[in-house]
Amino acid sequence: MTRIKQFFNSFFFYRFIRDPVAIGSFIVLAVLFISGFGAPVIAPHNPYDTTTIDIMDSELPPFWYPDSDSRFLLGTDSQGRDMLSTMLYGMRVSIFIGLGAVTLQAFLGITIGLIAGYKGGRFEAFLMRVADVQLSFSTYMVAIFFGALFQAAFGMGLYENFAIPMLIFIIGFAEWPQYARTVRASVLGEKKKEYVEAARVIGLPSRRIMWNHILPNTLTPVLVISTVQVANAIMSEAALSFIGLGMPVTRPSLGSLIKAGFDFIFSGSWWITLFPGIMLVILILSINLLGDWLRDFLNPKLYKG
């Protein structure tokens, strides 16, 4: 109880409550998260359960058209899946993969970047060259490699069940150098500063200096790239799904839904790609706005009075 009270009295909350953009994007994001993760309860249909889909319901328009079907509020896609439900389920997958991949990237990148920056010398050179090698492999190559490995080891059937953890691992593993480089650069800037020297003088172990003293001061750029990387991860997932290495086509994510709908945009069935597109834009925009606000809050130089 005191914790919560403490939070409401904090400066963080004080600043948050006075910024309408932050509140707005937080509310939107909260609604999207709740509806995404609550999809099995909220969504009128279960599009991942293929037994309920009928091809004869395909490409029905949204409710305001005369030939729409009352069962499908926002129309159906080319397979006869309810758009609204598929979007909610797809968003859940996208958020899951986006956050999961970024968490993994951040964990790997921050650890490696911090150690490399702080230790310096040969160790640093080695770690950063590893990062360069990793960067030279595109995400798709990593995905093809692990996808093939996984399939050879466990067969195709199992792949479908493990698609989400696999994608989190692939996207997270392929892009950690982004974090490592950013963190290392900031660490290099911080480690010569007086407070680090002071901490060293009083004899604190380097682990503690790294994690408790330097890391908090390098988090600003990390938070900024995190918001970009969530969006990137969601898009990587869409691209991987297209080349057959992402989510199974019977369980579309938001990204693959947009891609699938793109074929129909000129033939009149615009809703298949537009609705999930709008949803993705809102999702990413609110994450970015919130990230922006967080950066401003964390950066004392940007205090606006």
The site for another protein (CB under 8 A) is made up of 49-51, 53-56, 58-59, 78-80, 151, 155-157, 159-160, 242-244, 248-250, 260, 263, 266-267
Q: Which is nearer to another protein, 138 or 250 (CB)?
A: 250
Shorter beta-carbon distance to another protein: residue 149 or 249: 249
Q: Which is nearer to another protein, 80 or 120 (CB)?
A: 80
Q: How far is the CB of 45 from another protein (least distance, A)?
A: 13
Nearer to another protein, 54 or 132 (CB): 54
CB of 218 to another protein, least distance (A): 41
SS3 of 2-16: the string is HHHHHHHHCHHHHHH
Three-state secondary structure readout of the chain? CHHHHHHHHCHHHHHHHCCHHHHHHHHHHHHHHHHHHCHHHHCCCCCCCHHHCCHHHCCCCCCCCCCCCCCCCCCECCCCCEHHHHHHHHHHHHHHHHHHHHHHHHHHHHHHHHHHHHHCHHHHHHHHHHHHHHHHCCHHHHHHHHHHHHHHHHCHHHHHHCHHHHHHHHHHHHCHHHHHHHHHHHHHHHCCCHHHHHHHHCCCCHHHHHHHHHHHHHHHHHHHHHHHHHHHHHHHHHHHHHCCCCCCCCCCCHHHHHHHHHCCCCCCCCHHHHHHHHHHHHHHHHHHHHHHHHHHHHCHHHCCC
Distance of CA 87 to the CA centre of its chain: 16
Shortest gap between Cβ of 1 and another protein (angstroms)? Answer: 49
Query: Shortest distance, CB of residue 204 to another protein, whole angstroms?
Result: 53
Specify the residue, 150 or 275, whose C-beta has the smaller distance to another protein.
Answer: 150
Q: Whats the size of the chain, residue-wise?
A: 305
Instruction: Name the minimum Å distance from CB 250 to another protein.
Output: 5
**Smaller CB separation from another protein, 46 or 288:** 46
Smallest distance, Å, CB 49 to another protein? 8
Nearer to another protein, 109 or 255 (CB): 255
